[in-house]
Amino acid sequence: MSVRKKILVVDDTAYLRKIIKEELESGGYEVQVSEDGLKALTHLPKFQPDLVTLDIEMPKLNGFKTCEKLYNDHYAQHFEYLNYNKVPIVFVTSNDNFEDRKKGFDLGATDFITKPFMKGDLLNVVNNILFPDNILEDMTVLVVDDSKTSKAIVVNSLKRHGVNILEAENGREAYTIICKEMDHVDMVISDLEMPVMDGGELCRRIRNELGLKNLPFIFMSGADKSLLIDVFKAGGTDYLVKPFLKEELLARVTVQMEKAKLNKRMVEAVSELRDYNKMKDDLIAVCSHDLRSPLNNILGFSNHLLSDDSHKKEDVEALGYIKDSGEILLNLINDILDLTKFQSENNEIEMYPLSMYETVQISTNAFKNLTQEKNQIVSVVNNAEKTTVIGNGNCMIRVVNNLLSNAIKFTPENGKINLTVDNIDQNVILTIEDSGIGIPKESIPHLFDKFTKTSQRGTSGEAGTGLGMAIVKEIVEQHGGSIDLKSKVDEGTTFIIKFPAPKDLDMEIQKVADIDPSILI
C-alpha cells in the first residue's frame, strides 16, 4: 500500500484553512494545518510535509519570511527525503500581483493560487506538482544569458521539473557548447541582446551551419516588441518578453517540447514506414517470381494437355478450370506488381509527348477479337485537332486497355462502346462510354479502392482481380490528370479522363505504335 503524501497548510484565517484542508483531503492527501509561519516551522520535524501552502499576509511571520526559513540550511535538514532538500511551496493569497509573484519565485516558490479560488483549482495545482506530467523530465536545455539574475530564474524554474541545464553567458560560448552536445540538447533558451555574439546570430548559426532546423529556440528579450519580427527571421520558434512569470516560461517550454517530441515521432514513423514499404516491395518481388514460375508451368501443361484430343469430356472441362484459375492468379500477380511499381517512390516514369488519339487506336485494335466475339460495336471519334499529352506510352496504353477491357466485359452482346478524344480548356479529355450493365450507386465510391469488393463478373462470366481501377487511378494521377465517371444500372457507364495539354502543342510527338500492347492487357 502506497504512503499518502503530506501537505502542511499555513493560513491565519480559520475558514480558509478548513476549505483548503477539505479539498486536499478529498484528493487523498494527509493534511496538517497551522495558523502562522512560526507554528508551521514547529511541525516540520514530526510531520515532514511533501508540500506547503502559504498565505502571504500573516501575523508573527508572513509567507515570504516563512518561505525563506523553509529554504535555509537550518530547516533544509528536515527535507532530506525530497529532491534538492527543498519542499515545494504554493502561495495561496488574495494579494496576487506581479511584484509579489516575482518575489515569491525569486525565493523559490513553485506556484501561486489566488483567493478566492474555484473548487478543484488548488487540488489540480498540487496534483501537478506532486504527480507531474514528466514531459520535461530528463530533457536538456541550453540557457544563454549574460544576466546572472535572469538566467538563475530560468534555470531554477526548469530544474524543479527535472530538466537538465547547460549554461552559457553569450552566444559564442553557447555555440561551442552545442557543437559538443549537439545530440543531447533538446532546446535553447537565449537572451536576444548579448555581447560577443547575440541571440539572433547564435540561432542563425545553429540553423544554417549545424543544420538543426527543428531544434526549439526560445528568445528572451526586454526590447521593444516591434523588434520581435527579427526573432522569427533568425529562426526562433517562440519568445518571452522580460520580465515574465514562471508559469509563462513553463507553458512556452512545455508547448515547444511537445511540438518537438511530436515532430520527432513523426520523423521516426515516416522512416519506419519507408523501411516497411521497402520490405513490402522486396517481399512482393520475391513472391511474384516464386509464384509466377509454377503458374507458368501450370498454364503451359494445361494448354499442352488441352491440345490433345484423346481426353474425355470431363477431363477437358477440368483442365479448362485449371487453366482459367491459373490465368486469374497470374493476372492478379501482374496487377499487384504493377500497382507496387507505380506507387514506389523510386519509380521514375519516362515522360514524353505522345498522341492520345493514337494511343486509343492502338488499344482498340488490340481488343478487336474480344469485341467481335461479343458482336459489339466500337467507335473511336477524334474531336480535337491536337491530342498531345506528356506521358509514358506504356502507362497510357495500360489506362486505355483497362478501361476498354472493362467496357467490353460489362457490355452484353450487340452492345455499343464509344471512345471520344476532345481538347477543351487546355485539357485533353478521353471519354469511354458503354451501354453495359452499369455500376450500382453504392459501389461507385469504392470503385478505385485496391482489392475492391465491388469487382464483379462480366456479362460472359469474365473474372477480375479488383485492382484494375486502382492501377488506372494511380497512373492517371501520376500524369497530373484526373478521372471521373457517371453510371446507371442497366444503362451503362461513362469514364472521363482528363490530362493537361502541354503549352507547346506543336512539339514533336514520339510514336507509340511500336509498343506491344499485349504486354499490358
pLDDT digits (tens, 9 = 90+) for 238-266: 888 887 777 788 888 888 887 877 777 77
Share of the chain above pLDDT 70, in %: 86
Could you tell me the residue ranges of all domains in the chain?
6-130, 140-244, 267-343, 352-520
Q: Residue 519's pLDDT band (boundaries 50, 70, 90)?
A: very low
Strand order of the sheet with strand 427-434? 377-382, 416-424, 427-434, 492-500, 482-488
Between CA 113 and CA 46 the distance in angstroms is 27
In the predicted structure, residue 226 carries a pLDDT above the cut 70: no
Q: Residue 97's pLDDT band (boundaries 50, 70, 90)?
A: confident
Handedness of CA 387, 390, 392, 396 (dihedral sign): negative
In the predicted structure, residue 288 carries a pLDDT above the cut 70: no
In the predicted structure, residue 505 carries a pLDDT above the cut 60: no
Strand order of the sheet with strand 51-54? 30-34, 6-10, 51-54, 89-93, 111-114
**CB of 419 within 8 A of CB of 357?**
no
pLDDT score of 486: 93
Domain range 267-343, CATH architecture: Up-down Bundle (1.20)
In the predicted structure, residue 2 carries a pLDDT above the cut 70: no
Could you tell me the three cell numbers for 236? 526562433
Q: Fold for 140-244, please state it.
A: Rossmann fold (3.40.50)
- pLDDT tens digit sequence for 316-352: 888 888 887 777 677 777 767 766 666 665 556 788 8
In this prediction, residues 373-379 reach a mean pLDDT of 92
pLDDT score of 350: 82
The model scores a pTM over 0.85 = no
What is the β-pairing status of strands 238-241 and 217-221? parallel
**CB of 425 within 8 A of CB of 384?**
no
Chain centre to alpha carbon of residue 41: 53
The reply to whether domains 6-130 and 140-244 share a CATH topology is yes
Mean pLDDT of the chain: 83
SS3 of 316, please? helix
Residue 289 one-letter amino acid = H
Bridge partners of residue 483, in order along the sequence? 497
**CB of 157 within 8 A of CB of 105?**
yes
DSSP class of 295: H
Closest of 390, 434, 445 to residue 412, by C-alpha: 434
In this prediction, residues 353-375 reach a mean pLDDT of 89
The matching CATH number, chosen from 3.40.50.300, 3.40.50.1460, 3.40.640.10, 3.40.50.2300, for 6-130 is 3.40.50.2300
Q: Residue 393's pLDDT band (boundaries 50, 70, 90)?
A: confident
pLDDT score of 520: 39
In this prediction, residues 79-89 reach a mean pLDDT of 79
CATH superfamily, domain at 352-520: Histidine kinase-like ATPase, C-terminal domain (3.30.565.10)
Could you tell me the three cell numbers for 483? 478521372
